[in-house]
Structure 1
């Protein structure tokens, strides 16, 4: 009778799908479902992919990947789980591959407005690892480690190991950094909302997660704490099989609820194919135990910028109690210009997605304004010049009187404008003109 009352699970992949990879053909379900096995067998070299696929990948692809990594801000680290989600018969176009494995052949020149710390997180730090941009909220960067490395990572300035293009920031030891960070949060009367991120909370030990979360809850001033992790997408078996870690999260959720503090788990799923039976089972476990789960996607060209992909993603997440929260227009990151989408394409996609399901399960499409303006609704620009690809946003609740410029990717512009962007003088003039228009139309002073 209970079985009949259980709603059907909504997912895209099930069964022993990993056995399509020759190197995993003999891997048991018990091993594959073990998060420790996944971590031990993470793939960090292109040659390892060649060995695992045993002739099912062209040597040119491996060379292309090796050259792409040389120009990437992020090194390579993926789990066997993620490797198994890639359609290796069409790897160059595969939406999972595009997120984690950079190919030199698809890279194009970066936009001239690119900066390494494009969101100016360094400038908004009040303590090492604490970014205080919004009046009542703080971002607590508790670790610089992740179970996988996304090639479009905004924090490529600090997350992961050094690459040929980026020497990473090195943070103080965890105990020292956490103490000063929590002190800074305690002393700021305005902060009532903390996002614990990194890196990735999945890489915190269960004891550290519980200790850190308990300290924040016991400050007695916070109303909301969010734990951010891509883990539900890239290592979902940890939720099911690392019970110490999951129990720590559930204990924090219960503790927060008892003390009037909302605890939530924020994850990052970009494509419908990422919603496997592992993800569904993990999401159900969290839902059953009262943990609120929200999703933040990044809008990526060739991954989820089509109406059918985004619609399917939103519905899969909603049906599995993973609330679609934000869809970010991709930040400016070196080596991923080919993955960015224009503001115009984001606007049109949002228009088609809105109305397909309940409003609270419809993501807000946002731009994280370069330079520290914070998240702005894509529609809320003061000026959008499609010809030059420049949109200008005001952020009165974050930076009164300031304007923030987001550039469309070069591939979305005409050849003539791309040539203009190659000229420093012309580039400065295009930015100056669109900012002046925004000041006039929005009656905003400052710059």
Structure 2
């Protein structure tokens, strides 16, 4: 039985093919430059060489058709025909406050996604296009929506309400929603397994750091507070997003420059953050290289990003009272020791003590590690996220009729015996290149 997952952006369509019976990934890939011309697909199948094909995709329907054609290709494909695909899971960034868990897509569900599209204008329209395109190509299988916001629906009112006129909330749904929920769900369940604790009793601080970044306070296994808000713009400093700013800044700059509201919104979303400070970089590797060459603005960008993270960690320590583990995840959280170093330095008074040597060697997307010093009261886990697996398991359970809200549902990766076969193979290569990695690996209890 095969489950297909899709994550459609405005000009891309990422996918993963999962063999449910064998519990392994068959293929992953992405179609890039959708709607932009010169489109191409990059396809990585188990046991085969990477495959790239240039094929124009003026819309997402043709992108999904290209994915299906590639998956069923006699040379590069991994399935015999489309009939092997029994369900499709779709990432949806914003589900508003209507959804507390993943759902099978219906006309009513699609209507709800359209209604909240203006709350995530950079993401939801593309997610919707991807669902509509996939339903045309695969009309006879259940299509399931896995929403970033659903995980955060457990937040109390004191966490999600803004101190603005209450009728803004009642009439216009102005509140904090939070995002990266699928990643936080996976990493929180894995952290509980690593701690050997029932997830209902686990308090965590999880930092999902990538081009888009957010941090989550998890109390008794559920989202309690998070840095992103009404949209993915609030909170941490990100690649091109400003994160927290004084609400007066946009109005001030509109008066000063004559810029429109939409122009300021575009600047805060696409021209701010690390790009805004450095003037040219969003990739942390480029920023680190510039720092090493003496670029003062690159160093400043690192300092601002790390300080914002540090402040949120301190705030969430106070909010939770007890913290069982601090977790880093996503591309930067998993692979950038120079960022983690700046974040973790000086947290000893909070019981968080990192080991510089462990931190330096913790660079893998194939295993879970602990970089805490021996005298740290709180473990510091680095847990490679796996949003696609959450999407796959939700889609399968929805199709099978066994799915429920995460507090009443058990994922395969919650088991102490869980093994990701592809990552286990990848770890072997990582250990050859970096033997010291073996000393910081952590296993579920």
Q: TM-score, normalised by structure 2?
A: 0.29
Q: TM-score, normalised by structure 1?
A: 0.29
